[in-house]
């Protein structure tokens, strides 16, 4: 107890440190500024210097003298144990001269150092080779000057395509040789043909042949419309060389796509979502892919498809050729280039961040929403093709109805439409049945319709990239075009920031319906087209629940063509009226569960279902 009491009074009696031996090994209990006079340590290290004293202050100072450690050679000379050596004959005590922790270059301990060469002997990955694309194609240059099959050249000539575009002139020598290529350029620069020609040419020269569920080339794109557009360009070229193509995307039944894969296909043009579904179902395999193309990679990144694209690319052979075409390299597209392209050559046309030189921009500032409606209607009344962009699907559908009702035939294009409706509307716009396409940003990329003379931003886009891609529907392939942005007073600051980032120098111009600034852009006004007359509804066969008095309680009718969606109309039946059931047309007797029943008299109500043909 006396020793413990001395320990508790340690701050007042430093001499009590010698009372307990185990405390001598605890330097943290040493009083601040006092050396630890440990006779045991002094015996172990007899050459340790004694603590110095400060005579002027009359007190003992901190011990700043440390015992000098023996060198490694002195310790090894006293070590009686034999020296150990490694497998390659080096002593264990020698420091490994190689980098790292003895586990390999840049790897944690436990790695296999024999798999990789030393860092200085490793082959460094070269930087992306860059080439400037000439803006003017040399005079007299044709596709015959490249190593392209004659049958393909004849097919191009039959379509009126004789001279290549700048991006094609720059990239074809490398793509036809099998090199990986990064192509950058705005929409309408000819990128589709730039990768279609090497794909069909190299597949025709390959020794492999098509097999069931094992395509030989893959083209990934972000939207169904773009997939159909690429297929329309590539399919004639492939047929000229005995190859076939197919498209894979969502929104339609997959039975046709599965049947095409089972029969064997050379080129698959797909959207990432449906393609991943079929891969998970093991409907196809990508181990036979020789050429992979990523088109509009930046748009796929904007839509959130990059994780799926990476999973798909990981399933393709690394030895194959890979081509990536994109307007920009942001949002992770640069990571795709670094990860999947081997020693690529980069060819860039006009920057996607700058406007086209042969495109004229106008900003019309209107007073209010009513004036905006009249100005948009006047801009849509011309004789040529024009595309009107809105921000929402609802506005696109509503505006198309309003224009059609005003005698301007219009169709809409947005995400709520099924694939069949999309194709019908695009076909009507392409063949000239209608002159106006009202669309959301779904049509801002990859939709190529010739001779679009005017693009109208009914609703200004949220960012400048969308503005440039929307505007890119006109002034394609060297032609001229006009772009108009309709601006409300509260949108002035947003439009100013938008045009600044897009490098548009046009200044806002206050206009009213009928002003000369509008009529000069519209030109000749198209003739008024009367909306389709409403035709009487036709009954359609339907099994209904029989009523008490016979017949059916409800009949299904095909309503006249209207712009509205499906509606349900309730017809109130009075005494003495009959409810007609339809079977194969009007006047047919109603069918009831037990057999046929005649049309009966009676009161009550009948629900009539109508469907729209729009």
Specify whether 483 is located in the same domain as 581. no
Where does the pLDDT of residue 607 fall: very low under 50, low under 70, confident under 90, or very high at 90 and above? very low
Specify whether 338 is located in the same domain as 435. no
Q: Which residues pair with 291 in a beta bridge?
A: 217, 321
pLDDT of residue 349: 76
Where does the pLDDT of residue 214 fall: very low under 50, low under 70, confident under 90, or very high at 90 and above? very high
Indicate whether 252 pLDDT > 50.
Answer: yes
Q: Which residues of 459-477 are buried (b: 16+ CB within 10 A; e: fewer)?
A: bbbeebbbbbbbbbbbbbe
Specify whether 251 is located in the same domain as 291. yes
Is residue 407, in this structure, part of any structural domain at all? yes
Of the listed ranges 84-88, 503-507, 557-561, 578-582, the one predicted with least confidence: 578-582
Tens of pLDDT along 4-39? 555 555 544 544 444 445 445 545 555 555 555 554
Average pLDDT, the chain: 76
Task: Select from 522, 551, 579 the last residue of a domain.
Answer: 522
Is residue 23, in this structure, part of any structural domain at all? yes
Indicate whether 310 pLDDT > 80.
Answer: yes
pLDDT of residue 386: 95
Percentage of the chain with pLDDT > 90? 50
Where does the pLDDT of residue 331 fall: very low under 50, low under 70, confident under 90, or very high at 90 and above? confident
Is residue 224, in this structure, part of any structural domain at all? yes
Specify whether 155 is located in the same domain as 194. yes
Give me the long-range contacts of 393-400 (CB less than 8 A, separation at least 24): 393/440, 395/458, 395/459, 396/438, 396/439, 396/440, 397/438, 399/438, 399/458, 400/436, 400/438, 400/563
Where does the pLDDT of residue 195 fall: very low under 50, low under 70, confident under 90, or very high at 90 and above? very high
CA 267 – CA 265 distance, rounded (Å)? 6
- Of 520 and 537, more confident: 520
- Of 306 and 110, more confident: 306
Best mean pLDDT range from 6-10, 268-272, 325-329: 268-272
Specify whether 471 is located in the same domain as 565. no
Tens of pLDDT along 90-140? 555 544 444 444 444 444 444 443 344 444 443 444 445 555 555 566 778
Is residue 110, in this structure, part of any structural domain at all? no
Specify whether 547 is located in the same domain as 506. no
Indicate whether 611 pLDDT > 50.
Answer: no
Domain count for the chain: 4
Helix (H/G/I), strand (E/B), else coil: 108: coil
- Of 379 and 332, more confident: 379
**Which domain, by its residues, includes 589?**
538-610
The helix, strand and coil proportions of the chain, stated in percent and rounded to the nearest 5, come to 35, 20, 50
Indicate whether 536 pLDDT > 90.
Answer: no
Task: Select from 522, 551, 574 the last residue of a domain.
Answer: 522
Q: What is the CATH number of the domain that holds 265?
A: 3.40.50.300
Specify whether 402 is located in the same domain as 494. yes
Specify whether 186 is located in the same domain as 250. yes
Task: Select from 467, 493, 522 the last residue of a domain.
Answer: 522
pLDDT of residue 123: 40
Is residue 106, in this structure, part of any structural domain at all? no
pLDDT of residue 492: 95
Of the listed ranges 20-24, 182-186, 382-386, 470-474, the one predicted with least confidence: 20-24
DSSP state of 589: P
Where does the pLDDT of residue 450 fall: very low under 50, low under 70, confident under 90, or very high at 90 and above? confident
Of the listed ranges 1-15, 411-425, 434-448, 535-549, the one predicted with least confidence: 535-549
pLDDT of residue 129: 58
Where does the pLDDT of residue 479 fall: very low under 50, low under 70, confident under 90, or very high at 90 and above? confident
CA 554 – CA 421 distance, rounded (Å)? 28
pLDDT of residue 558: 44
Chain mean position to CA 97: 48
pLDDT of residue 504: 92
- Of 610 and 397, more confident: 397
Query: CA separation (Å) from 424 to 273, 274, 418, 600?
Result: 23, 22, 10, 42
CA 148 – CA 201 distance, rounded (Å)? 6
Tens of pLDDT along 126-160? 445 555 555 566 778 999 999 999 999 999 999 99
Q: Is the pTM of this model over 0.75?
A: no
Is residue 197, in this structure, part of any structural domain at all? yes
pLDDT of residue 99: 46
Asked if 373 and 403 touch (Cβ cutoff 8 Å), the reply is: no
Specify whether 408 is located in the same domain as 550. no
pLDDT of residue 547: 45
pLDDT of residue 263: 97
Is residue 531, in this structure, part of any structural domain at all? no
Specify whether 320 is located in the same domain as 365. no
pLDDT of residue 106: 44
Specify whether 247 is located in the same domain as 297. yes
Specify whether 274 is located in the same domain as 166. yes
pLDDT of residue 593: 40
- Of 275 and 40, more confident: 275
DSSP state of 526: P
Tell me the three-class secondary structure of 252-299, residue by residue. CCCHHHHHHHHHCCCEEEECHHHHHHHHHCCCCCCCCCCEEEEECHHH
Is residue 109, in this structure, part of any structural domain at all? no
């Amino acid at each position: 107890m006396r020793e413990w009491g001395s320990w508790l009074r340690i701050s007042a009696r430093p001499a009590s440190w010698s009372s307990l031996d185990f405390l001598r090994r605890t330097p943290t209990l040493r009083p601040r500024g006092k050396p630890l006079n440990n006779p045991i340590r002094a015996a172990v290290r007899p050459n340790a210097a004694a603590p110095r004293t400060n005579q002027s202050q009359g007190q003992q100072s901190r011990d700043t003298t440390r015992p000098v450690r023996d060198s490694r050679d002195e310790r090894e000379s006293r070590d009686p144990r034999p020296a150990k050596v490694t497998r390659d004959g080096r002593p264990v005590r020698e420091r490994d001269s190689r980098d790292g922790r003895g586990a390999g270059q840049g790897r944690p301990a436990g790695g296999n150092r024999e798999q990789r060469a030393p860092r200085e002997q490793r082959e460094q990955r070269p930087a992306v080779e860059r080439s400037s694309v000439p803006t003017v194609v040399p005079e007299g240059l044709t596709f015959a000057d490249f190593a392209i099959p004659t049958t393909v050249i004849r097919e191009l000539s039959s379509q009126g395509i004789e001279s290549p575009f700048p991006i094609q002139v720059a990239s074809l020598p490398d793509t036809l040789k099998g090199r990986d290529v990064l192509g950058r350029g705005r929409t309408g620069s000819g990128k589709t043909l730039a990768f279609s020609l090497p794909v069909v040419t190299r597949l025709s020269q390959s020794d492999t042949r098509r097999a069931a569920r094992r395509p030989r080339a893959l083209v990934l794109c972000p939207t169904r419309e773009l997939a159909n557009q690429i297929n329309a360009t590539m399919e004639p070229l492939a047929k000229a060389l005995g190859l076939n193509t197919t498209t894979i995307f969502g929104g339609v039944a997959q039975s046709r796509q599965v049947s095409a894969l089972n029969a064997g296909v050379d080129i698959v043009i797909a959207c990432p979502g449906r393609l991943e579904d079929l891969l998970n179902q093991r409907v196809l395999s990508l181990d036979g892919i020789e050429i992979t193309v990523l088109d509009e990679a930046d748009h796929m990144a904007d839509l959130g498809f990059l994780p799926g694209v990476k999973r798909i690319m990981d399933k393709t052979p690394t030895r194959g050729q890979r081509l990536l075409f994109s307007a920009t390299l942001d949002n992770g597209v640069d990571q795709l280039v670094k990860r999947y392209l081997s020693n690529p050559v980069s060819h860039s046309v006009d920057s996607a961040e700058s406007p086209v030189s042969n495109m004229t921009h106008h900003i019309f500032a209107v007073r209010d929403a009513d004036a905006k409606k009249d100005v948009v209607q006047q801009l849509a009344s011309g004789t040529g093709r024009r595309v009107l962009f809105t921000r929402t699907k609802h506005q696109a559908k509503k505006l198309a109805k309003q224009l059609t009702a005003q005698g301007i035939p219009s169709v809409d294009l947005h995400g709520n439409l099924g694939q069949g409706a999309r194709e019908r509307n695009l076909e009507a716009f392409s063949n000239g049945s209608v002159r106006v396409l009202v669309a959301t940003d779904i049509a801002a990329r990859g939709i190529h319709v010739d001779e679009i003379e005017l693009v109208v931003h009914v609703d200004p886009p949220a960012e400048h990239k969308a503005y440039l891609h929307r505007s890119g529907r006109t002034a394609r392939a060297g032609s001229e075009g006009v772009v108009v942005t309709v601006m409300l007073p509260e949108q002035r600051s947003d439009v100013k920031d938008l045009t600044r980032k897009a490098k548009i120098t046009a200044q806002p111009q206050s206009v009213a319906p009928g002003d000369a600034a509008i009529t000069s852009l519209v030109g000749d006004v198209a003739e008024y087209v009367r909306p389709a007359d409403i035709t009487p509804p036709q009954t359609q066969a339907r099994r209904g629940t029989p009523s008490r008095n016979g017949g059916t309680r409800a009949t299904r009718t095909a309503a006249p063509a209207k712009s509205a969606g499906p509606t349900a109309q309730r017809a109130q039946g009075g005494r003495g009226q009959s409810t007609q059931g339809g079977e194969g047309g009007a006047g047919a007797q109603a069918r009831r569960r037990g057999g046929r029943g005649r049309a009966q008299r009676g009161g009550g109500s009948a629900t009539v279902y109508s469907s729209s043909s729009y």
